[in-house]
């Protein structure tokens, strides 16, 4: 049980790091999109190519958003499993303590 607890803690840490990385990439994509829009507005050059580039950035942002949601779901499941293991360890410890008395 303790080994499962340690594995879950490490998995939760890893999921948190993955989440931070995905969030950083999503932020970078949104910043790039905003910068490109600002560039287009400042130059008054809206072309088919610029529209395609914006569409591409939108698709990439959507994919990162989906990855972020999946990572958040995975982290929530890991937290739930960790909570269940902690409850089980606590009840086992309480049971052992009662039996020793």
Tens of pLDDT along 69-91? Answer: 998 998 898 888 888 888 888 88
Tens of pLDDT along 14-42? Answer: 888 888 999 999 999 989 988 888 888 78
Tens of pLDDT along 45-59? Answer: 767 778 888 888 889
Question: The domain 2-92 is classified under which CATH number: 1.10.287, 1.10.3470, 2.60.40, 3.40.1000?
Answer: 1.10.287
pTM given for the model: 0.67
CA distance 71 to 19: 6
Does residue 61 carry a pLDDT above 80?
Answer: yes
C-alpha distance from residue 69 to each of 23, 25, 75 (Å) = 10, 14, 10
């Amino acid at each position: 049980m303790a080994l499962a607890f340690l594995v879950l803690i490490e998995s939760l840490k890893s999921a948190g790091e993955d989440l931070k990385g995905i969030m950083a990439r999503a932020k970078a994509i949104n910043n790039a999109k905003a910068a490109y829009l600002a560039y287009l507005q400042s130059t008054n050059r809206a072309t088919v190519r610029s529209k395609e580039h914006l569409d591409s950035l939108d698709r990439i942002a959507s994919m990162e958003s989906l990855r972020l949601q999946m990572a958040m779901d995975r982290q929530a499941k890991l937290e739930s499993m960790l909570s269940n293991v902690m409850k089980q360890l606590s009840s086992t410890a309480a049971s052992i303590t009662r039996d020793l008395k």
